[in-house]
Chains A and B, each alone.
Chain A
Amino acid sequence: MSDAKTLSPEPLIPLESPSAAPSEVAAWLGAKLRRYGILLFLLGLWELSGRAHWVDQTVVPSLTLTLKAIAQMWQRIDLGSHILISLGRVIFGLLIGLSVGAPMAYVLARAWPKLGQNFESLWRVFGLINPYCLFPIFVIMFGLGETPKIAVLAWVSLWPIFFGAETAFRNVNPQLLKTALSMNCRSWAIFWRITLPASLPAIFTGARIGVEMSFFILIAAEMTGATAGLGWIIHNAGAAYQTERIYGAGVCVVILGVGINRFLELIRQNFLAWGEGDGIPWLLSSRASKQPTNRLVLWLCCLIFALVMALGFWKIFQGENLILSSPNP
């Protein structure tokens, strides 16, 4: 700890300097304004357009009405559990995708590389199959309920993970492998110390793309066949012309999407820092700063994530039991 203190940049900033504090505040404010200015402006415009009656409030409810709708939904129809259920489905699908995709990629890229090459074309075709039209087929296979939805989400996240992992497993630096072999490492040591760390960033990148696409498809899947979740709320509100509820649920979806994106970026920067960026140009925050995060914040984020995951699974399980036990679903 004492080492950390001497290394910390605190002493470098003269505390008594009179001009330092205001300019720092100004710089901080400027940075925040640069980041959030346009967003705040757009939110203000949204609010104003409702207040000044530029647009019909029944078509575009103002920001305050939308927030009120969120509060109302939270109280009346238990918005919290719907959010948890939606998140739980995405995470469940992602976990299946990871636990199938990554080992499959390892087997096909490392254990039997020749066989893997033969299967390449089949996986390409599978990856291009539209997950949404698989939904009816999954219903035939698994019956109604949560399973087909989770299967669709697992399918969506499986392929980016698999392709990323396969490429990474194939392209592990042979120099490192040779070094390890010449040092007489056992095969499991090579796996744990070299192959896996070298491939984890790519697997993670695949998982991020998978989550992104899962979110899109989840809302659609919940809109057509579900009795819970954010997509269901939107569908229901749309059918009943409760526009402010559509907007409210929409705001929740956007916040969740941005939040998950940020969380994954945080994880990548802190736990997989040896990867060279995730190279997904269409996820903007992959260009975020390289500042180390506060450990406490990091672990708190992870804890919240685990909690949300557990609660989501529990809610899904509960809902499934409810459907199965009710005489007339």
Chain B
Amino acid sequence: MIFAFIRKYAAIIGFLGLWEGLSRLRVIDPLFFPPFTQVVAEIVHLLRIGVLGPQIKASLQRAIPGFLLATLMGVPLGLLLGSWFKTLTNYLELPLEIFSQLNPFLLFHIIILFMGIGEAPKVTIVAWTCLWPIVFSSMSGAAQVNPSLLKSGRAFGLSRLGLLRKITWPAASPVVFAGIRLSLGYSLFMLIAAEMMGASSGLGFMVQRTQETFQLDRLYAAVTVIAFLGLILDASLQLLGRAFLYTKLENYVNTPGD
């Protein structure tokens, strides 16, 4: 088992070792590329003096509500558009495409005009970015449900709500979940950029500040923490998905080309 673990993560360990070695041997300038152990030591140090913790908390407090808001709005909207209101979807296709292309950073200045500076614009940016992958994947997931399943559901006398709950939702959930997972990636992605542009706390702010003050140890520490955070969030979402969603149904419910 340990052997399998090492085999699986050998490349990561090798990469970190290479980084460490090249930097220690001064093949690459340790001033610009501090060795990995030094970065880890910096992370531990920052955690201990209580600098890093509040920044992580600040970032998560923006990313998670934005992401949840987008999920709570996007999944029902997409499912309803894909199942009950198919005609409406035809009418809405172009406006939705345009909305999804509306870059959250275009909206940044405008959102600030409406909401002032503070937490609200950042949460809105995250929510806006996350919303569209979720809406589109829920829409197409609901639209691609095997029609014979829907027909047999109707034959058994399910109501519209029952069809949505018993058939469309379980069948669409893997696709919906793929959209949600993509969105979670986007949420951190956009949040860090938003924080780098205008914030006074958070990991993105830390990247920006350490870059300006040339504290490269801390810059690498912040980048490593962001990458690690992304990994943890992605892994935990996958665990949640495996526990709660009907991912096992995927193989025989959504057979492509059926």
Contact = CB atoms under 8 A, between A and B. Distances in A.
B1 interface: no
B105 A246 contact: no
B105 A258 contact: no
Contacts of A131: 189
A42 B136 contact: no
A130 B106 contact: no
Interface in A247-277: 247, 249-250, 253-254, 257-258, 261, 276
Contacts of B219: 136-137
Given A132-B189, A282-B136, A246 B141 contact: no
B101 A122 contact: no
Given A122-B15, A140-B32, A224-B197, A254 B109 contact: no
Nearest to A251: B106
Contacts of A140: 32-33, 216
Given A136-B219, A253-B106, A42 B141 contact: no
B92 interface: yes
A136 B7 contact: no
Dominant SS at the B interface? helix
B101 A261 contact: yes
B98 A130 contact: no
Interface stretch (A67-75, A89-97, A211-219): A211-219
B113 A281 contact: no
Given A128-B230, A217-B193, A121 B8 contact: yes
B137 A284 contact: no
Contact of A134 (B12, B90, B97, B223): B223
Interface stretch (A5-13, A32-40, A170-178, A293-301): A32-40
A125 B12 contact: yes
A122 B14 CA distance: 9
A121 B11 contact: yes
B15 A223 contact: no
A2 B139 CA distance: 45
A145 B196 CA distance: 19
Contact of A281 (B10, B114, B175): B175
A224 B207 CA distance: 13
Contacts of B50: none
A181 interface: no
Interface in A110-140: 118-122, 125, 128-134, 136-137, 139-140
Contacts of B223: 129-130, 133-134, 137
B197 A38 contact: no
B231 interface: yes
Nearest to B112: A238
B103 interface: yes
B32 A216 contact: no
Given A121-B12, A281-B141, A282-B136, 18 more contacts: A34-B90, A34-B91, A36-B94, A39-B98, A59-B110, A59-B114, A60-B110, A118-B7, A122-B14, A128-B185, A130-B192, A130-B226, A132-B196, A133-B222, A136-B219, A231-B105, A234-B106, A287-B140
7 contacts: A130-B227, A131-B189, A133-B204, A137-B219, A216-B103, A223-B105, A281-B178
Interface of B: 7-12, 14-15, 32-33, 90-98, 100-110, 113-114, 129, 132-133, 136-137, 139-141, 175, 178-179, 182, 185, 188-190, 192-193, 196-197, 203-204, 207, 211, 216, 219-220, 222-223, 226-227, 230-231, 234, 256-257
